[in-house]
Structure 1
Amino acid sequence: MASNPAPMLPLFYNSIAPLSSQAHAGFKVRQRTAYPEAAKTHAIPLTVDEFASAMRHYPIVFGSGPTAAPLALMGLTDGVNTFVDADGNWAKDVYVPAYARRYPFLLAKFNETSEELTLCFDDKAGLVEAGDFDGYELFDGEAPSEHTKSVLAFCEQFETAVARTKQFMDEIQALDLIIDGEVSLQQGDGQPSIYRGFRMIGEDKLRELRGDQLRKLVQTGMIGLVYAHLLSLQNTRDIFAKQMGVAAA
């Protein structure tokens, strides 16, 4: 008899365990200065709340599939991150997406009959452990510590931003604004490199919107997100140049 397939885990996560004052009494979370889990990740999920900050550094693109979400593009090739070195150090003064900053924590639903979300963590990350090391205490007796309360608040804010992101994606998909993306960039020898596998908003489709449709985007503030996405695509050339520089070196 075939066994049930293992559930798909979110990017970065190797395992998910609910945080418990009984099971994890005396546990601490290590202070983070690097993001090694991101070193070989070329695209990281993004929420609409981050577009204004992320557009200065990354191309903002959309994934494929019916539940496509915005992505901050870190590299043009799978496994290549031009902003994070092999040790996980993020480039100086470059925005770090909230998805990466919340790791190893997240909110997850453990009971299919309930909508309640539980604070969980990746128990294989080596970041939340019991032991004698510098870190943040997770519990004060059976009560969550101040640090755990701040982690929970951050994760709740992230989930709220995810809901707003879904509303934005639903709207632009309903307006049929999404097209398959393609970018052609010139190498040093003059040969073009063509990259595909992402989606973007088509400017022709945007210009063809009816007045009432465009007015709705303006009134909801979504038009600003649309242009943040379109303007961010100019960063693709910078990433391409970084990759070519690494290859040359």
Structure 2
Amino acid sequence: MPLLTELSSQNHHNLKIIPSGVIEHAAKQHLLQLRASEIANAACSFPVFLSRNNVNGAWAFSAMCGIELQHNLFVIDGHWQSVFQPLSVQTYPFYLMQLENQEKQYGVGFDAQSVALSEQQGEALFNADKQASPHLSKVTQALDSEINSLSQTHQLTQTLEQLSLIKALDLHIVYGNGQTNKITGLHTIDEDRLRSLPGDTLVNLNDAGYLTPIHAMLMSIYQLNSLINRHNALPGKASISTIKMEVSKPNTLA
């Protein structure tokens, strides 16, 4: 998360959004964060994984959009190439921001360094009366709904962790020229553990609405084939022959 500035019509009435800058940013994201409520739809297009925040240890869901760092295979020639677009793209470069010294109070923050913002060009965020533009109103509404989504996402990840349903994965990328690469830090659902859960626990998961995103994550693994095809269709790229998944081994001292 970048350093955020709280958006104010008084201080930022000249600020403009550059749509091409939003896509330019997305083009460099190989992982895009998801809300829990987005998992089922995202799984139709992307592999969906869990990963830990290195700073605070919190779990987050992400759509895997690329095999190489800073390369999104779903952005081609400046255009988004999937029916589903995560809200993290739709609302960029704006974020839900906890207000200083106001517990549980949120505002709209923005990344002042973003290439999607300018005072010289683009679509104005505020009109002459300093009222929010239709685009900013839509973004603000989406971010407002994220307050509940944050709680839902946290509750789901906590449940998965408590039930030991999170499994660490390494992805071994095998190229046709013999080169290999390994992607670490990804986690998925432990299907064997899921099958072994007592019936009453599964009922509780279903009643909470958790079984749908859980099964969607498991099925989304097959979207790795789509990533291979998209990568191999790019000119000048070493083709990938396969991606092998392996349960991560814990680090041991020599």
TM range (shorter): 0.7 to 0.9
Number of residue pairs the alignment of both structures matches: 234
Q: Which residue type is aligned with residue 23 of structure 1?
A: N
DSSP-derived class of the 2:79 partner = coil
Segments of structure 2 that go 5 or more residues without pairing to the other structure are 240-254
Q: How far apart are the structure 2 equivalents of 1:196 and 1:158?
A: 28
* Worse overlay, 111-120 or 27-36: 27-36
Q: Which residue of 2 aligns with 1:100?
A: 89
* Runs of 4+ residues deviating >6 angstroms: 189-193
Paired residues of 1:38 and 1:88 also in contact (CA < 8 A): no
Q: How far apart are the structure 1 equivalents of 2:63 and 2:172?
A: 19
Q: How far apart are the structure 1 equivalents of 2:131 and 2:179?
A: 61
Q: How far apart are the structure 2 equivalents of 1:122 and 1:161?
A: 21
Q: Which residue of 2 aligns with 1:40?
A: 28
Quote the RMSD (CA, aligned, Å).
Answer: 2.7
1:166-177 alignment, distance < 5 Å:
166-177=154-165
TM-score, normalised on structure 2? 0.80
Residue by residue over 1:24-64, the C-alpha shift from the partner in whole angstroms, topping out at 9 and shown as x without a partner, is: 23433334585111222211111121122211110001103
Q: Which residue of 2 aligns with 1:4?
A: none
- Cα distance, 1:188 vs. partner? 4.1
Structure whose residues are more often strand by fraction: 2
Q: How far apart are the structure 1 equivalents of 2:125 and 2:217?
A: 39
Q: 1:148 aligns with which of 129, 136, 156?
A: 136
Are residues 178 and 158 of structure 1, via their aligned partners in 2, closer, same or farther at CA, if it must alter by over 3 Å?
Answer: same
TM-score, normalised on structure 1? 0.81
Q: Which residue of 1 aligns with 2:152?
A: 164
Q: Which residue type is aligned with residue 4 of structure 2?
A: I
Residue by residue over 1:80-108, the C-alpha shift from the partner in whole angstroms, topping out at 9 and shown as x without a partner, is: 322124x54322x4422111111111121
Q: How far apart are the structure 2 equivalents of 1:172 and 1:125?
A: 34
DSSP-derived class of the 1:17 partner = strand
Q: How far apart are the structure 1 equivalents of 2:97 and 2:181?
A: 40
- Cα distance, 1:145 vs. partner? 4.1
Q: How far apart are the structure 2 equivalents of 1:126 and 1:77?
A: 22
DSSP-derived class of the 1:63 partner = strand
- Cα distance, 1:208 vs. partner? 1.0
Identity, in percent, stands at 25
- Cα distance, 1:245 vs. partner? 4.3
